[in-house]
Amino acid sequence: MGGIGISEMLIVGLIIMLLFGARCLPGIARSFGTSIFEFKKALNPDGSSRKDVSRDQTQYSKDTPAKKE
């Protein structure tokens, strides 16, 4: 209960197609994907993805000897 099923998604997709037309949908989807990419890129100021950062940290920990105090 409360989840969106396939039938609801099909109805919403049909309404969107009727409102915007089939020709505009690829452009709308492309601009939506670009905006999501830019938003994720803005979350990390250095421009790297979260996977790249964790990989760099593990590489750094392997190359750097542990300090003994």
Whether pTM exceeds 0.85: no
Which among 53, 23, 49 is positioned nearest to 37, based on CA atoms?
Answer: 49
pLDDT in tens, 1-22: 678 888 998 998 889 888 888 8
